[in-house]
Amino acid sequence: MGFAILNKTVYCNQLPISLLLNQMGKAMKRTVKKSMVLMLLVIMGFGTQAKSQERVSFTAGFGFPEGLNLGLRVKFIDHLHIGAYIGSMQEQQGFRLNTGEIDKSSTWSTFGANAFYHFSGSSEHTELPPWYLLAGLGNLKENAYYYNQQTILASLRIGRAFNFSRRFGIEFDAGLAILLHEKTETKPAGIAEGITADTPRKVGLSTGIKFFFRI
């Protein structure tokens, strides 16, 4: 799944389930470690300035371009919230056409920032309107077997939060991802026959689902 990999087939069924789960587990461990550092820095910068409850929120979810992600969000003014995230994705590139051998999977690391403006609706659990607009900037780095690729995207989405209580809930959003920058570097071994680097689209789908917890 991803902005750049929409143009090619992904063969997840070619790898044993145990190997795929092991790769996902390793990626999540790296993501959690990086996210803990990110959250600590943000809390040190903003948490001490909080004068009201529910000013800071922790998030966890999946989307594009965020990938499988953890994040932190801070109330800026009234209905405007600013957040940062870090995440990762795994992609199986398929197999070589000339030998039939399965290629090693690609690892995507992501980080970025989003602004949320809550503009409409009401909830019995909180004064914050559930409908929101999201504007974000994300950086994706793909470490593939044959090449490295960096992609910078802008996201514009509309979404809705569903509050299960005053502090906990889930939110869904969808919109567009716009390509701002792309750079691909082929590794010294070169790209094998039958394998091509991803070709990013200039405009694609951007979507996400997140659980949040306000403190």
Q: Which of 81, 68, 211 is nearest to 140 (CA)?
A: 68
Which tens digits make up the pLDDT trace of 56-88? Answer: 999 999 999 999 999 999 998 889 999 999 999
**Domain count along the chain:** 1
What domain range is 189 assigned to? 4-46+56-214
The CATH number of the domain holding residue 128 is 2.40.160.20
Task: Write down the pLDDT at residue 18.
Answer: 54
Q: Does residue 51 fall inside a structural domain?
A: no
Q: How far is residue 24 from each of residues 95, 101, 106, 117, measured CA to CA in Å?
A: 20, 21, 11, 33
In this structure, is residue 81 part of a structural domain?
Answer: yes
Classify residue 115: in a domain, yes or no.
yes
Q: Which residue has the higher pLDDT, 194 or 157?
A: 157
User: Which of the pair, 7 or 89, is modelled with greater confidence?
Assistant: 89
pLDDT value of residue 17: 52
11: tokens are: 């063969």
Give the max Cα distance, the chain: 63
Determine the Cα angle at 62 with ends 27 and 30, to 5°: 20
In this structure, how many other beta carbons lie within 10 angstroms of the beta carbon of residue 202? 9
Reported pTM: 0.69
Residue 103, domain member (yes or no): yes
CB 118 within 8 A of CB 126: no
- Which H/E stretch holds residue 41? helix 17-46
pLDDT in tens, 84-121: 999 998 876 554 444 445 456 778 899 999 999 999 99
In this prediction, residue 32 carries a pLDDT of 54
Report the 3 state secondary structure along 159-192: EEEEECCCCEEEEEEEEEEEEEEEEEEECCCCCC
